[in-house]
Amino acid sequence: MSEPPATLPEEVIKVSAVNAVTGNTESAFVFSDDPDEINRVTNSLVFSNATPLAIASLSASDISNLAEKHSLLSLYSPSTSVTTSNLLIFLPGSGESSPDNNYLALGKKFDLPQTGVLSVLGTEELPFDLGYTWYHDMDYETGDNLDWGSAAKLESLKRSVRKMSTFLLELHDTVHLENVFLFGYDQGATVAMEVARENPLLGGVVAVCGGRPGAPGKVPVLQFVGGKDELYTKAEAKVCRERYGKELVQQFVGERRGHGMLSGVEETKAFHGFVAEKLKRRMPTLEKQCT
């Protein structure tokens, strides 16, 4: 890294950190005293030499083995591009029984450039072989719905978030988390936003018909909300956005949409527009010419 001028303006702050990959101390200069900006730059130094392309060397079995290590039922589909620089992780709603599902098929259909797709099931098993869920929102003995004041509901949510966060932390040894995107539906959307709160380096979150009020976040979110959705209402989505951070949550409100996955040209365009700004792309041909 080139050295700055001998004399710096007072607002320029030098930050240093030990790189997690090389073990070397690296420095950068922040042109602001904003704590969030300083933390962002410091984190970028810690992981600056994690190779974004490294995920391309991982086979489907490598990804699956890592997920299995953290008790995640999943299925990985590599990018159709020559190289893979990004990872899109689908977190489906409750009741799915196989990671080889419509979410994985949707990820393949998106065919985002240089992006592998990973479908992960909920981490909590439902009774009566009903599949998997991310958290328990029903008392299975009485049939009563559980609200967010329920300890059972909150604890099962925390377990799921902890497993996903631990998985992402180890994944970060291989690929920048800013190259990783979460796409959640219903319960999966709630978990995706909770995971983002604990992993501020993630590239972005797409939350469809889900999310809950919680601590402020730092990861950009695209949230799809249905005007006719009775399971996750516009009022709930509004509070969720306000708590997370209005400037970070871009909401697509379909006044005629109910509780369901993306549909129609406008919603698909909104999704592609959101991720297009954030996907990392490499040019292997030019890189080879420069080496």
What range defines the domain where residue 20 resides? 1-49
SS3 162: helix
**pLDDT(9) > 60:** no
The Cα–Cα gap between 6 and 24 comes to: 23
**pLDDT(90) > 60:** yes
pLDDT of residue 82: 76
Indicate whether 291 belongs to any domain: no
Taking CA atoms, 255 is separated from 222, 224, 233, in Å, by 16, 11, 11
**pLDDT(110) > 60:** yes
- DSSP string over 81-94: SSS--EEEEEE--T
The Cα–Cα gap between 232 and 55 comes to: 35
Could you tell me if 144 and 82 lie in one domain?
Answer: yes
Could you tell me if 31 and 84 lie in one domain?
Answer: no
Tens digit of pLDDT for each residue in 68-84?
Answer: 888 899 999 888 877 78
Could you tell me if 24 and 89 lie in one domain?
Answer: no
pLDDT of residue 39: 73
pLDDT of residue 8: 33
Q: Is the pTM of this model over 0.75?
A: yes
**Structure confidence at residue 10 as a pLDDT band (50, 70, 90):** very low
Could you tell me if 193 and 258 lie in one domain?
Answer: yes
Tens digit of pLDDT for each residue in 239-291?
Answer: 999 999 999 999 999 999 999 999 888 999 999 999 988 887 755 544 454 45
| CA terminus-to-terminus distance, the chain | 18
pLDDT of residue 122: 94
Tens digit of pLDDT for each residue in 145-160?
Answer: 999 989 999 999 999 9
Q: What is the dihedral of CA 38, 180, 244, 222, to 10 degrees?
A: 130
Could you tell me if 248 and 131 lie in one domain?
Answer: yes
Could you tell me if 93 and 198 lie in one domain?
Answer: yes
Closest CA to 21 of 166, 176, 167: 176
**pLDDT(37) > 80:** no
Indicate the number of domains in the chain.
Answer: 2
In this structure, are residues 164 and 185 in contact, taking their beta carbons and an 8 Å threshold?
no
Looking at the chain, the whole-number percentage of residues with pLDDT higher than 90 is 50
CATH number at residue 117: 3.40.50.1820
Structure tokens that stand for 163 in this block: 């497993």
Closest CA to 222 of 239, 207, 201, 241: 207
Tens digit of pLDDT for each residue in 210-243?
Answer: 999 888 999 999 999 999 999 999 999 999 999 9
The Cα–Cα gap between 126 and 234 comes to: 28
Instruction: Provide the mean pLDDT of the chain.
Output: 83
Could you tell me if 17 and 104 lie in one domain?
Answer: no
Looking at residue 188, its amino acid is G
Closest CA to 119 of 163, 72, 83: 72
CB atoms closer than 10 angstroms to residue 19: 15
SS3 103: helix
Structure tokens that stand for 221 in this block: 């979110």
**pLDDT(136) > 50:** yes
Q: Token match 């990820």: residue?
A: 107
Indicate whether 147 belongs to any domain: yes
Looking at the chain, the whole-number percentage of residues with pLDDT higher than 70 is 78
Sign of CA dihedral 67, 68, 70, 74: positive
